Amino acid sequence: MMDESDVTRQLLDQARQGDAAAVERLLDNHREPVRRMIHLRLDAGIARRVDASDVVQEVLIEASRRLKDYLARPVMPFHLWLRHIARDHVIDAHRRHRLAQKRGVDREQPLAGADWAQHSSLELAAQFLDPELTPASAAVRQELQRRLHEAIARLDEDDREVIWMRHFEQLSNQEVAAEHGITEAAASMRYLRALRRLRDLLK
């Protein structure tokens, strides 16, 4: 059975040959990772005014339009290329709504954490919090996640970004390095530094 990267490579090859169905499947296969990336980065005030599904659709439409150029010169893995497009759309959404000075947006909570994956949150929290508190009840689980999300919100942007990428988007250290244009050693150090700061905040 082919893994996800093999499927992506096969679909990209078919797309180069003009297979429209392969393009549709390629984009559909990456819809959920794009949605997760966008949900993490839309702040709560804007998330109340912008439907993240609409942003995802805009990203996929732009990717479809630009796919021919990407196929001619694939300078990075396909999923990282999609992340760049998604990031630009998130930045545009923030810019539009900040400049429009929508009522109360700037006074609202800066993170849209309600959509964070519960499994990822709990796995990360378990690294820092007393394992005796590991949840048997929904209330304790929610408290663990609340503490974790509040701590992540207090990190600086670089530290928060690497935590999101590694734990909530499930990107590898190699992918983080490629995304930021740094060495794998530097990406690893950035991640470890972020974890140390997160641990300090949780304590």
Helix (H, G, I), strand (E, B) or coil at 111: coil
Q: In the predicted model, what is the mean pLDDT of residues 119-131?
A: 61
Based on the fold, state whether residues 8 and 100 are members of the same structural domain: yes
Contact 47, 112 (CB under 8 A): yes
pTM, full prediction: 0.69
Give residue 137's pLDDT band: very low, low, confident or very high (50, 70, 90): low
What tokens appear for 17 in the block?
């040959």
Q: In the predicted model, what is the mean pLDDT of residues 95-103?
A: 64
Instruction: Check which CATH number belongs to the domain holding 82 and give it.
Output: 1.10.1740.10
pLDDT value at residue 129: 61
What tokens appear for 36 in the block?
């997760």
Helix (H, G, I), strand (E, B) or coil at 81: helix
Last residue of some domain: 81, 109, 137? Answer: 109
What tokens appear for 199 in the block?
């641990």
Place of tokens 């988007």: 169
Backbone dihedral region of 177: left (phi > 0), alpha (psi from -120 to 50 degrees) or beta?
A: alpha
Of 138, 102, 141, 140, the closest CA to residue 121 belongs to 141
Range of the domain at 77: 1-109
Give residue 173's pLDDT band: very low, low, confident or very high (50, 70, 90): very high
Say whether pLDDT at 98 is over 90: no
Based on the fold, state whether residues 29 and 74 are members of the same structural domain: yes
pLDDT value at residue 135: 54
DSSP string, 6-65: HHHHHHHHHHHTT-HHHHHHHHHHTHHHHHHHHHHHS-HHHHTTS-HHHHHHHHHHHHHH
